[in-house]
Structure 1
Amino acid sequence: MNDVIVSESCAVTLLGGGKVNLKDLREALRLAPSLVAADGGATFAMENGFAPVAVIGDMDSIPVRIRADVPVGRFHEVSDQDSTDFDKALRNIDAPLILGVGFLGRRVDHQLANFNVLARRFDRRCILVGKHDVVFAAPCELELPLAPLSRVSLFPMAPVSGRSRGLNWEIDGLDMTPNGVIGTSNHVRAGHGGPVSLAFDRPGMLVIVPRASLNLAISALERATPFSPAR
């Protein structure tokens, strides 16, 4: 991958400027030890003793006192005003996995914008971690080894059709769209003994599962069949 700012062989934790739980950040760093901050996320990082390897964004949310504490070579200003700081950071990280902390909760408009980016940058293996949920863009084919009755919500950010095995309400034959049929509040069928299998005809579906399923989601994405990279 060319022209990226951060290239890592290990997983990366991307810290946003939204509401951050210190416990969530520490857990993310245990799983993805390289820390990158998206603009204002640098403030939380530095105030809590974490030093990001890079800060990426338009730099309009970082106080002067924080700028002074971050080595100059770690600031990477991306001045384009047509994209969010999450987008600026995500498209400039090359890593096998990105865990996003500080992108869910607080402001609904920011959260919706982050979902938009997650769906558009589907070729980045990225999971957003929140207090109650983890969210990621569905790959072409995925198997989630969730327990029966576990919540599995599907929300299309574009027209998407798919197939499933193991859900209480299977999605086969459904044409799902943001302003039409969606798949929230679904769950693993009672008595289902294997992984939930999902397959989609095109990118654009978001998968939302409980926060406790983060490790399962990571393992599932590692084994998943991806879509061809975005152009």
Structure 2
Amino acid sequence: MSCPILHKSATILLVGAGPTSSAMIQSTAAHADSVVAADGGFKSAQAAGLDIALVVGDMDSQADLPGSQAAATITDQETTDFEKCLAVCAADVFLGVGFLGGRLDHQLAAFSALLKDQRPVVLVDEDQLVFMVPAQFEIDLEEGLPVGFYPMLQVQVTLQGVQWPLRDTDMHPAGQIATSNISSGEPLRVQTDGPGLLAILPARCLGVVLSVLRG
């Protein structure tokens, strides 16, 4: 889908219609420069008291937007509202709340969107955050934190700083995965030979993850 860019910001928070809370939206918005709502996510963002720069989607959940609210109606049914937001926004980093949990098919579609978009996109809920690992990634984590890595495509991975490390290991959804791992207290270092590795870390790691993804 090719669309003109309608909103630009260094860090954009995308708010979806999935399970979340005003407190979760507000705490994540503290890391963002602007807010864009994905269709029904407008109600959640509005309830959280946020200034919403743009509402994007097919608007099947939004028949009563305020007349002053900037909105982009995209009727394409081949993409999700999350993908529509990414298509019309430009940012160095995207955050997303309201895209994890709830209907499993919606969550899987969100993961697929992360795979398609080469820009840093971090999805967050109350407990965890999820993002596609860049080719080189390193952060400091305290010992004992639960960490997981799931290959959505075949990818070769070196993983250090965890209880069960990997070295030049071929990972695949039907083969080697690295879920249910634990940080060792050493720097977490991940190296991949291409896109496709999904990282799952505790939500409280958001600040340090963003510091690395922003470069």
TM-score normalized by the length of structure 2: 0.93
> Which string of whole-angstrom CA distances, capped at 9 and with x for unpartnered residues, describes residues 28-56 of structure 1?
11110311001111122234433311111
Distance 1:5 1:140 in 2: 29
Residue among 205, 210, 213 paired with 2:205: 213
> Which runs of 5 or more structure 2 residues have no equivalent in the other structure?
none
Q: How does 1:1-231 map to 2 (within 5 A)?
A: 3-8=4-9, 10-62=10-62, 64-65=63-64, 67=65, 69-71=66-68, 74-121=70-117, 123-189=118-184, 192-193=185-186, 195-223=187-215
Question: CA offsets per residue over residues 138-194 of structure 1, 9 Å max, x none?
Answer: 1010002111222220011111111122121112132111222211011222xx44x
Q: Does the 8 Å CA contact 2:21/2:44 hold for their aligned counterparts?
A: no
Q: After the TM superposition, which segments of 4 or more aligned residues of structure 1 sit over 6 Å from their partners?
A: none
Does structure 2 retain, via aligned residues, the 8 Å contact 1:90–1:124? no
Q: Distance in 2 between matches of 1:168 and 1:143?
A: 16
Alignment length, in residue pairs? 213
Pairwise CA RMSD? 1.6
Q: Name the structure with the higher strand share.
A: 2
How far apart, CA to CA, are the structure 2 residues paired with 1:70 and 1:200?
47
Residue identity matched to 2:159: S
Aligned letter for 1:32? A
Cα distance in 2 for residues equivalent to 1:51 and 1:101: 15
Q: Deviations over 1:202-227 (max 9, x none)?
A: 1011100001111111112123xxxx
Structure 1 gaps of 5+ residues are: 224-231
Find the aligned partners of 1:221 and 1:88 in 2 and give their Cα distance.
Answer: 22
The amino acid that maps onto 1:158 is: L
Q: Tell me, what secondary structure is at the counterpart of 1:131?
A: coil
The change in CA–CA distance for 1:70 and 1:210 in structure 2 (over 3 A counts) is: farther
